[in-house]
Amino acid sequence: MIGVAVAVGLRVLFLISGIDSVLSLRLFTYVSLGIIAALLVWLIAFGP
């Protein structure tokens, strides 16, 4: 759920800043950003 929230939040941030219009593969970009955020939270919570 954290990854989804981060992906949605970053989409809003990218739309406001204008970065979204430059992205070519938006779906893969936001999915990968959400996965990265979820993995970082998992790494912080459970350690290496």
Tokens of 45: 């919570």
pLDDT for 15 equals 94
Q: How far is CA 35 from CA 1, 3, 18, 38, in A?
A: 10, 6, 22, 5
State pLDDT tens for residues 1-48. Answer: 899 999 999 999 999 999 999 998 999 999 999 999 999 999 999 987
User: What pLDDT does residue 48 have?
Assistant: 75
Query: Residue 26: CB partners within 8 Å, gap ≥ 6?
Result: 20
Domain ranges of the chain: 2-46
- The neighbour count for residue 16, using CB atoms within 10 Å, is 9
| CA–CA gap between residue 17 and residue 43 (Å, rounded) | 29
